[in-house]
Structure 1
C-alpha cells in the first residue's frame, strides 16, 4: 500500500469515527432530552396526571416565557398610593403565571419540563403533608438546582443529600437550638443599635422626618448579626464575602432559558465566566477566614459555628475545604438574605397597616419598659409574633419547596419514578382560601392568636421555613432576630410608606421588593 492509499484509508477511518461519534452523541442527547422524560411522563400519565406537551430541547420553557409576557401585558404597576389590600394579593400569580394557567387546564397536580427535567407541580395539601412525613433519603434536594446554583450552595447543608446532608445537619442544627439563640440576643441588640443610630442621625439632619430606602441597611444589620453570632467577626470584616455573595446571587438569579439543558453551564459565556470568577474569589476569602481562625483557635479556643464547621470538616464525607467553603456560603446566604427580606416585608405591612403598627408598638413599650429587649421578654411579645407569622404567610422567604425523587417513591397514591422533580409554590399554598378562609388575601395577624394550629384548617400547609426533616435549621435564629430588630425599631420610630414605593415583588432566589422599600420615618414622641 503506497502513501496515497494509506492517506485515503486514514481519511475513511477518521470520517467513520467522526460519524460514529456524532451518532453516539445524537443518541445520548435523544436519551437525555427525550426518552428519559418521556418514560417518566408515561408513568405519571398512566396515573391520570397530565401536563403541557414539551419541545425537544427546551421542554416547556418557551411556553413559560410566552405566558409571562402575556401576563405582563395585562398587568399594571401598583404604587404606594394604592389600596393596602393590593399589597397582600397573591403576587405569585404575576411572577409565575404559567402555574395558574396550567392548573386551570390540567388540575392541581400536573407535570411540565424545563429542558430534560420533568417537574411534578403539587398543590394538594395532603400530598404536601406526605412530603413532610417522608424521612428517608429517597426524596432530596433537586440535582439540577445543585448544578445550576452550585456556585452559591455547592454541597452545603441547603443543597446536599443523603449522608453528607445528615452529617452537616448534625453539626449545624444544634447551634441554632432556642437555648443557644437566646444567648445571642445581646449581639443582635448591639447590631440593631448601630442601625437605629444611623437612622436617628438622618432624621436629625433632615428635620421632623426622613425618607429612607431601608433594604440595604436591613441587609447590613442581618449580615452583621450572622457574622457575629456564627463567625465571631463583624460586618466590616466580612463585607467582601457579603458583597461577592450578593453579586453572585444577582448573576445566578438572572433569567436563564437554558436551565435544565445539559452542558450549558460549562460554556465560557459572559454570564458563566462572571459566576466562575465570583465563586473563585468567595472561596479564597472564606478559606482565608478559616485559616485565620485555625491560627487563633490554637492559642485561644473559640465556641462559635465556624469552629464547629472546621471540626466537622475533619470527618466530612467530602473534601475538607469544600465542606468549609460550602457551609459558610450557605449560612451567609440563609442567615442574612432571608432574614433581611422578611424584615423588609414586615416593615412594609406595618407601614401600610397603622393600626397594627400601633398595637405592636404599645406592646413593645409595655414589655420592655424603656430597656433593650432581653431573651426573657421576647415570648411576651404576642402581637409582634402574630405580625411576623402573618408576614411570613404572605411573603415566605422562599418561593418554592423543591424535591427530587432520588429513587422511585410513592407520594400518597402517586408513584413517582426516579429523577422526577417535585415543586410546591409556597405563596399559592399560603394564599389558598380553602385553607385560610375567605380573608386569605388580607393582612390579619390575629388569625395566629392561637398559634399556627388555630390559624388555618391545615397547619401543615404553613411552611415559611420548609417542611419535614429539611425544615430550615436557622428558623429560631430568624424569628428571634426579627423580634429584636422590630421591637427596637417600633420603640424608636413611626413609619409609613413613601409615595415613591412601587409594589413589585421580585424573585431573586428569595421574594423581595423589586424597587426597594422607601419609608417615611419620624421619631416616636
Structure 2
C-alpha cells in the first residue's frame, strides 16, 4: 500500500472517528449533567411547588447532597448523653430532627442527587406501607453493605415476596408458637441460672444485662428456628452484629457508583464476613437438606419448612442464593429486635419501680410458681401494656424508607420519579399531636384500653410496620419477650445503676450505646 493511499484511509478514519467520539463524549457528559444537576433541580422545583421545604440543591451539594452535614450532626449527637426524660429523637435521628426544626414536617433532604421526602402524616404513612407495588423498598439504591445484610423477605418484592411469605407464614402461626414455649423457657432458665451464680441471696450485683439478653434471644433463634447448637452459632451472631454496625456507619455516606469495588478497609472486612457467613450457612443448609432427603430428621421449624418447600420444588425459593439470603436474615432479625425490646424494658422498669412492681405482681398472680404457659401469657394485661409503651418510645426500627420509581400520587402530592420517602416512626411515636403532652414520658397506662384507644382511633403506632408486609416475626418476638420478662420479674428485681448513661443510638435497631448496667437482686 502506497503512502498516499494509507494517508487517505487515515483521513477517512479520522473523519469518522472524531465525530463519533465527540458524540459519545457529549452523550455521556449530558447524561452525567442530567443525573447530577438538571434532574435534581427539576425534582426540587416540583417538591417546593407542592409546599415541601429543604436545603437547596446547589453546587455545594453536588453529588454528595446533605451527607457532610448529616455526618457532622450525627457525630455531635453521639458525643453527648441525654437525660433519661429528654426527647430521644435529637440523638437517634439528629439530622432529621434538625431538618424538621428548620423547615417543618413537610420537608426533604438530599441523599446524593436524590431527594428524600419526609412523610409525617399517619394516613399517608399507611398508604406507603400498604401499596408496596407503588412504593418499593429502597435497598436497591442503598450502599452495598446494607444490600449484603438485608436479604430474604426483607428485600423481596412482588411475586417473589408473595411466594416466599406464603412458604414461611405457617412457621409463625399461633399453634407453632405455642409449641416453642418450652424452648423459650429452657433458654430463659439457662440465662437466669447464670444470674443466680452471680447474684448472692442477700446482696446485689451490678451487671450489664444487655449481652445476656442478646445471648438469650440468640439461643432461642438457634433452638427454635434452626435446631442448631448455639455454641457453634455464636461466631455467626458476632459477625452479623459487626456487619450491622458497618451497615449503619455506611448509611451516613453517599454510595457512589462503583464504590463497592474500592479496596477500602470496610469493603474488605464486609467481603470477609460474607465469605464466612456463606461458608457456614451453606454447609448448614446442605447438611440439613441431605438428612431430610435421607429421612434421618423431620423437624417442625423454620429451616425445615424452607428446605421442604425447596426440595419439593413447589414454591419460589429456587436457588442456593435465595436460600442463603432467607437463612441469614432470620438468624439476624430473629434475635436483635427482641433483645433490644427486652433491654429497653428492663431499663424503663428500673427507673419506674411502680410499673416494675405492677408487672411482677401480675406475673405472680397469673403463673404463681409454675412455668409460664400460653394460657397464662394470653391473660397478661400489664406486661403487654409495658411492651407497647417500650415499642412506642424505642421502636426496633426508627424509620422505614421506600423508593418511588416513577411519578406517583400520594394523597394530594405527586412524588417525582426516583425519589426516596422516609417514614420516621420514632418521631410519630413521640408526637404530642397524637400522644399528648407526655409523649416523651414512659406511661404504659395509655395502653390500658388498647392501641386504638391510646391513639384516639388514629393510625399512629407502627412498631412492626403495617399492612400485608407487617413483620412476620411480630408474634414470635412478643410471646418470647412476655415469657422472659414474667420469669425474670418473679426471680429478680432491677434498679438503674449510677453508672448508667442514657444514650440511645441506632446501629441497625435502637440500642443503648453504653450498655445497660443495672443493679440486680434476688427476690427473697
Instruction: Work out whether the TM-score is over 0.5.
Output: yes
**Equivalent residues in 2 for 1:15-164 (5 A)?**
23-54=26-57, 55-68=61-74, 76-78=80-82, 86-132=83-129, 134-142=130-138, 143-145=140-142, 147-154=144-151, 156-164=152-160
Task: Tell me whether 1:467 sits opposite 2:466 in the alignment.
Answer: yes
Contact 2:317–2:323, Cα closer than 8 Å, also in 1 = no
**Equivalent residues in 2 for 1:230-245 (5 A)?**
230-245=225-240
Distance in 2, matches of 1:40 and 1:319, equals 40
- Aligned-residue offset at 1:2: 5.5
Contact 1:90–1:428, Cα closer than 8 Å, also in 2 = no
Distance in 2, matches of 1:349 and 1:480, equals 19
Q: Secondary structure at the match of 1:259?
A: coil
- Aligned-residue offset at 1:301: 2.4
Q: Which deviates the most, 310-319 or 498-507?
A: 310-319
- Aligned-residue offset at 1:267: 1.8
Q: Which deviates the most, 250-259 or 346-355?
A: 250-259
- Aligned-residue offset at 1:495: 1.0
Deviation by residue 1:41-76 (Cα, 9 ceiling, x = unmatched): 33323322232113111012123234446667xx85
- Aligned-residue offset at 1:110: 1.7
Deviation by residue 1:287-334 (Cα, 9 ceiling, x = unmatched): 111011112212122321112222444456575111111111111121
Counterpart for residue 372 of structure 2: 373
Distance in 1, matches of 2:168 and 2:51, equals 42
- Aligned-residue offset at 1:253: 2.0
**Equivalent residues in 2 for 1:322-401 (5 A)?**
322-401=321-400
Distance in 2, matches of 1:196 and 1:144, equals 43
Q: Secondary structure at the match of 1:385?
A: helix
Distance in 1, matches of 2:437 and 2:251, equals 37
Distance in 1, matches of 2:3 and 2:300, equals 78
- Aligned-residue offset at 1:284: 1.4
Residues 344/34 of structure 1: CA separation in 2 closer, same or farther (3 Å cut): same
- Aligned-residue offset at 1:416: 1.7
- Aligned-residue offset at 1:402: 1.5
Q: Secondary structure at the match of 1:157?
A: helix
Contact 2:492–2:521, Cα closer than 8 Å, also in 1 = yes
Task: Tell me whether 1:307 sits opposite 2:300 in the alignment.
Answer: no
Q: Which deviates the most, 167-176 or 309-318?
A: 309-318
Distance in 2, matches of 1:12 and 1:240, equals 64
Q: Secondary structure at the match of 1:519?
A: strand
Q: Which deviates the most, 306-315 or 473-482?
A: 306-315
Distance in 2, matches of 1:364 and 1:6, equals 96
Residues 95/303 of structure 1: CA separation in 2 closer, same or farther (3 Å cut): closer
Counterpart for residue 81 of structure 1: none
Counterpart for residue 83 of structure 1: none
Output the aligned Cα RMSD.
Answer: 2.7
Contact 2:494–2:521, Cα closer than 8 Å, also in 1 = yes
Deviation by residue 1:78-119 (Cα, 9 ceiling, x = unmatched): 4xxxxxxx4243211223232233223333122221113321
Distance in 1, matches of 2:51 and 2:363, equals 53
Contact 1:114–1:260, Cα closer than 8 Å, also in 2 = no
Q: Secondary structure at the match of 1:363?
A: helix
Residues 215/17 of structure 1: CA separation in 2 closer, same or farther (3 Å cut): farther
Residues 251/136 of structure 1: CA separation in 2 closer, same or farther (3 Å cut): closer
**Count, aligned residues:** 513
Counterpart for residue 182 of structure 1: 178
Distance in 1, matches of 2:155 and 2:332, equals 12
Q: Secondary structure at the match of 2:34?
A: helix
Q: Secondary structure at the match of 2:199?
A: helix
- TM-score, normalised via structure 2 length: 0.91
Contact 1:116–1:261, Cα closer than 8 Å, also in 2 = no
- Aligned-residue offset at 1:239: 1.9
Residues 317/56 of structure 1: CA separation in 2 closer, same or farther (3 Å cut): farther
- Aligned-residue offset at 1:179: 2.7
Counterpart for residue 212 of structure 1: 207
Distance in 2, matches of 1:90 and 1:181, equals 36
5+ residue gaps, structure 1, are 79-85
Distance in 2, matches of 1:341 and 1:500, equals 20
Counterpart for residue 500 of structure 2: 501
5+ residue gaps, structure 2, are none
Q: Secondary structure at the match of 1:289?
A: helix
